[in-house]
Amino acid sequence: MTHEELRDLIPAYALDALEPEEARAVEAHLPGCAECRDELSSLQAVAAELAAGVAPVEPPATLRERVLAVARPRRLAVVPSGLWRAGLAVAAALILILGGITLVQFQRIRTLAAHMGALSARLAAQERVLVLLASPTSRTATLRGSTQANVRFVYDRATGQGALLVSDLRDPGANFVYQLWLVAGQEPQSAGVFRPIPGQPIVIPVNADFRRYQAVAISVEQGPQGSSAGPTTVPILNGTI
């Protein structure tokens, strides 16, 4: 196989998705090719970060019982007419108590649902990166600059799909966000804003005609929407694509 053919196999090799014969060909090629070794190292690092970024989430064991207890109908007792005032007071208290319990359970369920929705979105974004990694036409750019962080941009010129993978990036401050830029010549174009999440990688999907761009950059901008006219500060991270 030629160098280009073997390089196209590197993404699948990083995911352990090659046939044995192809895997052996890549392994024979790697010792003599620094370019392919660097590409493999970068792709393996991205895959490892994705694998470490999803912690198993399990709903509380008592959630089902609590929901059923709240939803189960209560039987009403017949109160003698002479005790109607006392009974009314007790009923009102029960309604308030049960209403409070129902509200608490509803809030817990809503919080859990929101958490599961956020997890689902994260998994979908990470699946997108894995699909990009498996593509023979995908490439990875490592962003470097004045800030120490693990930031990589995975992109595929053939499909126009890309994703920024961010981990270990410090908080920019309460009133600021990070803004991603795609750079064509001297004309940067915004590709979205984000804030880091402590302790876990985040993925920012990007769709663009990457044949038009030569670089990606990240700057710190005023939140929550960032800048619409280009970076207002010197980018802290840059990468060539």
Cβ neighbour number for residue 7 with a 10 Å cutoff: 19
Strands 150-156 and 237-240: unpaired
Per-residue tokens: 38: 């660097």
Per-residue tokens: 48: 């490892």
Query: What is the arithmetic mean of pLDDT over 111-116?
Result: 48
pLDDT, residue 11, reads 75
Write out the DSSP string of 169-211.
Answer: PPP--TTEEEEEEEEETTEEEEEEEE---TTS-EEEEEE--GG
Q: Note if the pTM is more than 0.95.
A: no
pLDDT, residue 143, reads 94
Residue-wise pLDDT tens digits, 46-97: 666 655 554 554 555 555 555 445 445 444 444 454 444 555 555 555 555 5
- Alpha-carbon Rg for the chain in angstroms: 27
Least confident of 99-103, 172-176, 191-195, 231-235: 99-103
CATH level 2 (architecture), domain 136-241: Sandwich (2.60)
CA 8, 11, 16, 17 torsion: positive or negative? Answer: negative
**Domain boundaries along the sequence of the chain:** 63-124, 136-241
Cis peptide before 188 (omega within 30 of 0): no
Residue type, 80: P
Residue-wise pLDDT tens digits, 127-172: 666 677 777 888 889 999 998 888 999 899 988 999 998 888 899 9
Residues 129, 112: Cα–Cα separation, whole Å: 26
